[in-house]
Amino acid sequence: MNKFPTIGILGGGQLAQMLALDGYPLGFRFVFFDPTADACAGLVGELMVADYDNEIALEEFANKCDFITYDFENVPVDAAKFVAKRSDVFPHPNVLKIAQDRLNEKVLFREQLKLPVGDFFTVDSYSELVFAAKSCEKNGFLKTRRMGYDGKGQHRITENTDLKSLWDKLEGGSFILEKAVDFKREVSVILARNIQGEISCYELCENKHKEGILTTTLVPAVESKNSLMAFDYAKKIANALNYVGVLTVEMFETDDGLLINEMAPRVHNSGHWSIEGAVTSQFENHLRAGIGLPLGSTDMSKGFSAMINWIGEIPVVSLTTKEKDVYWHIYGKQNRPGRKVGHSTVVADNAQDLHSKVVHLAQLLGAKK
């Protein structure tokens, strides 16, 4: 390894930005590659602006880098494979390929690894949609197989859904229809796996969403009697993929146990709390894993932590106040409805203290917005 390795990141969003901010104190250098000139990672390092099919730019990018990773899972696989011929890329582009297609993911989880997933049906035609809707008792979610995130590309299917007009509106494509799951809550496992195959899991994260977008994460998940099982499932996935880096696996917790929802081959919004809430953040551990350094401890730094996302608008309070155990993260993006523009983290010694602090934080964020 170079003394000060240069790490390239395909995609220049806030995940790339936070990878760099946690990687700089390790002496690492960063270069970002993104088609958008105002990609927010560009605020904290060198940004190459080019399309993902621009091989001249990709080659220049790869030549600058000792290691390359991703900001998001929808980086074109061809671009990842192209740079992988010239530099070390983690996780492997084949993992991207699986994670980019909900069907591939489900097949991996259910067929290959025999892990529990909810009922689902492939939909490539109107007649398949009708069949699938009936099979899931007209209670489910039609999702694009590819390129969905933050609830985008999803359609609720109920008894009242006019399937014909929905299908016409979609103008074709490949989908899966997932039967609605009666879950108590959503949880995620965030783990780091290094080149030697060592795995370290963060405490189980309990996630709350609004309109498909993560709003709050609580760690450790309250009464997480399923956490060992959740870690076991996520580790099976990571080992099967010979995964390197941080992997996130989202699951539903039901009365009958866990169902695996999806995975993200990257650092994850539900792990942002780890910047202050864990001894080693998910960002640092992703880099450590990829570069071949020993993983840092994933223990909680103070026992309990929570993260609240800022959707659409940066709260004014984030500039005006600075309190103990409360941390602000502004990504430097312009406000826009539905956009993740920052987040706040709290840490606490015990569950009750965490609860009080989350209530206080919510008031702060609400009152002075």
Q: Does 331 bind a second copy (CB under 8 A)?
A: yes
Distance, in Å, from the CA atom of 143 to the CA atom of 170, rounded to the nearest integer, reads 11
Q: b/e string for 236-272 if b means 16 or more Cβ within 10 A?
A: bbbeebebbbbbbbbbbbbeeebbbbbbbbbbbbbbb
In angstroms, give the least distance from the CB of 124 to a second copy: 44
Residue pair 286/266 in contact by the 8 Å Cβ criterion: yes
For a second copy, give the closer residue by CB, 45 or 140: 45
In the numeric block, the tokens 């091989």 are attached to: 55
Q: Which residues contact 221 (CB under 8 A, 6 or more apart)?
A: 185, 187, 203, 204, 205, 206, 227
For a second copy, give the closer residue by CB, 141 or 310: 310
Question: Which of 35, 212, 296, 303 contacts a second copy by CB under 8 A?
Answer: 296
Q: Does 366 bind a second copy (CB under 8 A)?
A: no
In the numeric block, the tokens 């870690």 are attached to: 231
E strand or H helix that includes residue 283: helix 282-291
Burial class (CB in 10 A: 0-12, 13-18, 19+), 362: middle
Distance, in Å, from the CA atom of 125 to the CA atom of 174, rounded to the nearest integer, reads 8
For a second copy, give the closer residue by CB, 25 or 225: 25
Residue pair 217/173 in contact by the 8 Å Cβ criterion: no
Q: Does 314 bind a second copy (CB under 8 A)?
A: yes
In the numeric block, the tokens 């600075």 are attached to: 322
In angstroms, give the least distance from the CB of 82 to a second copy: 27
Residues 222-261 that bind a second copy (CB under 8 A): none
Q: Does 195 bind a second copy (CB under 8 A)?
A: no
Q: Does 323 bind a second copy (CB under 8 A)?
A: yes
Q: Does 2 bind a second copy (CB under 8 A)?
A: no
Question: Which of 329, 348, 354, 365 contacts a second copy by CB under 8 A?
Answer: 329
Residues 10-49 that bind a second copy (CB under 8 A): 17, 20-21, 24-27, 29, 43-45
For a second copy, give the closer residue by CB, 180 or 293: 293
* Stretch of 90-98, 149-157, 163-171, 330-338 lying at the interface with a second copy (CB under 8 A): 330-338
In angstroms, give the least distance from the CB of 111 to a second copy: 38
Helix, strand, or coil (residue 271)? helix
Q: Does 280 bind a second copy (CB under 8 A)?
A: yes
Question: Which of 229, 279, 351, 362 contacts a second copy by CB under 8 A?
Answer: 279
Question: Which of 105, 220, 328, 357 contacts a second copy by CB under 8 A?
Answer: 328
* Stretch of 88-96, 206-214, 242-250, 314-322 lying at the interface with a second copy (CB under 8 A): 314-322
Long-range contacts of 37-46 (CB under 8 A, 24+ apart): 39/11, 39/12, 39/13, 40/12, 40/13, 40/14, 40/331, 40/332, 40/333, 41/9, 41/11, 41/12, 41/13, 41/14, 41/16, 41/17, 41/71, 42/12, 43/17, 43/332, 44/17, 44/20, 45/20
Structure-block tokens of residue 206? 């309990």
In angstroms, give the least distance from the CB of 195 to a second copy: 15
Distance, in Å, from the CA atom of 292 to the CA atom of 66, rounded to the nearest integer, reads 12
Interface size with a second copy, residues (CB under 8 A) = 39
Distance, in Å, from the CA atom of 32 to the CA atom of 49, rounded to the nearest integer, reads 8
Question: Which of 284, 340, 354, 365 contacts a second copy by CB under 8 A?
Answer: 284
For a second copy, give the closer residue by CB, 263 or 267: 267
In angstroms, give the least distance from the CB of 322 to a second copy: 3
Structure-block tokens of residue 84? 């992988």
For a second copy, give the closer residue by CB, 71 or 284: 284
* Stretch of 76-84, 86-94, 303-311, 318-326 lying at the interface with a second copy (CB under 8 A): 318-326
Beta bridge partners, 356, equal none
Strands 304-311 and 340-348, sheet pairing: antiparallel
**Which residues contact a second copy by CB under 8 A?**
3-4, 17, 20-21, 24-27, 29, 43-45, 279-280, 284, 288, 293-294, 296-297, 299, 301, 314, 318-324, 327-332, 334, 342
